Amino acid sequence: MAVMLALAAAGGVIRALAPAPSVLRDVGTLMLVLWLPAIGNLLAYLMGKLPRGEPPPTQFPPGSPFLPQLEVQLERQLLPPGFVQAVPEDLLAVVLVGRRGFSARFDQPLRTWLGGGDGSAWTLQLLRPDSARAHLRAGTAFHLLAGTQVVAKGTVVRACA
């Protein structure tokens, strides 16, 4: 960076001393522009030194109690053979509204819910409810995913608390 700044300063001197329409003045101008990448590198270095915030959670804390936050009506979809057995025990469901997805869990593991009996009204707990509230109002239609597979279509009935 120091070399680039020194070349930029030399370019400024060359530009100031060279006659107006000349190749030497043009070379000085090109060298003078070298301060831009040098300052860009300095800013990138300083930005890298800033402390970063904590990343958002990707799982519920182990052993945390289920707190219902959303009451939904679900209609299970036809699943490929063997899909339910292949679902990991700790997999979270994804509530997909348009292009936005929100991680959620049932009061039971997702695999148990997928293999369970009929029932249309369910409660979900959202991993990050603050970011989901604006998109999951009563009457909102959504898809429920397990991994990348759509497992149900649903509608939000109401927010629980």
Are 39 and 78 in a shared domain? Answer: no
* 60 within domain boundaries: no
84 CB-contact burial (10 Å; exposed 0-12 / middle 13-18 / buried 19+):
middle
State the residue range of the domain holding 81. 70-159
Are 86 and 128 in a shared domain? Answer: yes
* 137 within domain boundaries: yes
Residue-wise pLDDT tens digits, 93-113? 999 999 999 999 988 888 888
- Is pLDDT of 123 > 80? yes
* 106 within domain boundaries: yes
Average per-residue pLDDT for the chain: 89
Instruction: Report which residue type is found at 60.
Output: F
Q: Report how many domains make up the chain.
A: 2
Are 88 and 155 in a shared domain? Answer: yes
